[in-house]
Amino acid sequence: MPDSIASLQLSSVVLPLENPVSDAKVLTGRQKPLTEVVLLFAEVTTTDGVEGMGFSYSKRAGGPAQYAHLCEIADVAIGQDPSDIAKVYDSLLWAGASVGRSGVATQAIAALDVALHDLKARRAGLPLAKLLGAYRDSCRVYNTSGGFLQASVEEIKEKATASLEAGIGGIKIKVGQPDWRTDLERVAAVREHLGATPMMVDANQQWDRARARRMCRELEAYDLVWVEEPLDAWDAQGHADLSHTFDTPIATGEMLTSVPEHLALLEAGYRGIVQPDAPRIGGITPFLRFATLASQAGLALAPHYAMEIHMHLAAAYPTEPWVEHFEWLNPLFEERMEIRDGRMWLPDRPGLGFTLSEQMRAHTVATASFGSPRG
């Protein structure tokens, strides 16, 4: 008998942050400071005893909804061939079709989709990147977690120095404050501190088109790797126009939750840096679909967050991406990413290369099981 999915265990995990963080959405009054990350974990076991693990996540809202949605449709995966990942994915989409094919619906499926890719690579005895077909064993890495807006310039400098000493190669800071002059003062101070170190800025969608043009023009002087999300995430034409106007690349895409939403950028003529997020776009399966199209269009890639997943996907992209370093999820896993010489290195362990920690179990607030471990 062919191997099949015997059981699934879903876990909702609430991971508190050591300190609340604020980006431009907080300073403009649209959101509250971020105090925790809520994750949805899927653990899969097959009739042959092979296991896989994947996760999705949410910030500020949506975690319970992701968990509830996957609980409703998870039974559909039981008994299916775990190697037929695209088939399993589509069956889950149709099982929950009444709530659509983006947003919470696909973010919920993402946890199981990632787990099936992890399982397939583990069964092959290969890191996921090697199973997909890697172009490289390491990628350039930058840190974001030290550059939030609640931090003073001096705090940002201290954290940036610590990141560089730890082997990280680039630093990203947040902008998009109500007073644009404050943004420029902070950028100038951090650029002076970093010298020639690669630097990025992220406005988290808080500028309108007029302000974005003015700010991008001012920011040209600071030799940035990119200006991220200067406009609303769904303003594909606006991002495309900026990407043709300025020398500094424009980056966007992290908030988009389906392949069609990302394709709107390409259709608008966007020529910047795409930042798909596998848990948000719906999993590794749709991430790879879009990555193929982005590569064909000649776009650079810098996947958002979730470095435990994205290092593998970045290693399998034809042109070298940047990978985003966030240490926030470290307590949930036994292993750590290797970072040195300004680069993040591909794990040599099978699959994603991570096992869940006791701390992950301790932060679990709900679990649900489907199928039988013995098939």
pLDDT of 248-259, one tens digit each?
Answer: 999 999 999 999
Per domain, the residue ranges of the chain are 5-125+357-371, 129-345
- 126 residue type, one letter: L
What is the separation of C-alpha 92 from the centre of its chain, rounded to a whole number of angstroms? 22
Determine whether the annotation assigns residue 204 to a binding site.
yes
Q: Which whole number is the average pLDDT over 126-137? A: 97
What is the DSSP-derived secondary structure letter of residue 33?
P
Active-site residue (options: 69, 239, 262, 304): 304
**Predicted local distance difference test score (pLDDT) of residue 326:** 87
Report the sign of the C-alpha dihedral through residues 337, 319, 134, 89, in that order: positive
pLDDT beyond 50 at 47: yes
Is 363 known to be catalytic?
Answer: no
In the chain, pLDDT over 90 holds for what percent of residues?
A: 83
Q: What are the pLDDT digits (tens) for 346-368?
A: 999 999 999 999 999 999 999 99
The answer to whether 119 and 82 have CB atoms below 8 angstroms apart is: yes
Higher-confidence residue: 208 or 24? 208
Q: Is 90 annotated for ligand binding?
A: no
Q: Per-residue confidence at 51, pLDDT binned at 50, 70, 90?
A: very high
Q: What is the pTM of this model?
A: 0.94
Check whether 159 is labelled as a binding-site residue: no
Confidence of residue 374 (pLDDT cuts 50, 70, 90): low
Residue 208, marked binder:
no
Q: How confident is the model at residue 37 (pLDDT cuts 50, 70, 90)?
A: confident
Closest of 304, 289, 279 to residue 228, by C-alpha: 304
240 annotated binding-site participant = no
What kind and span of H or E run contains 111? helix 104-124
Q: Is position 235 annotated in a ligand binding site?
A: no
Superfamily of domain 5-125+357-371 in the CATH hierarchy: Enolase-like, N-terminal domain (3.30.390.10)
Average pLDDT over residues 321-334: 92
> What DSSP string runs through 303-333?
--S-HHHHHHHHHTSSS--EEEE--TTGGGB
Least trusted range by pLDDT, from 90-104, 266-280, 327-341: 90-104
- How far apart CA 195 and CA 198 sit, in angstroms, is 9
324 is in an annotated binding site: yes
What band does 375 get if pLDDT is binned at 50, 70 and 90?
Answer: very low
Query: Average per-residue pLDDT in the chain?
Result: 93
Is 310 among the catalytic positions?
Answer: no
129-345 CATH choice from 3.40.50.720, 3.40.50.10900, 3.30.360.10, 3.20.20.120: 3.20.20.120
Is 202 assigned to a binding site?
yes
Which class for 31: exposed (0-12), middle (13-18), buried (19 or more C-beta within 10 A)?
middle
Beta strands in the chain (DSSP E): 5-21, 34-46, 51-59, 138-143, 170-174, 199-202, 226-228, 250-252, 273-274, 300-301, 322-325, 338-340, 343-345, 364-371
Single out the catalytic residue among 69, 174, 312, 363. 174
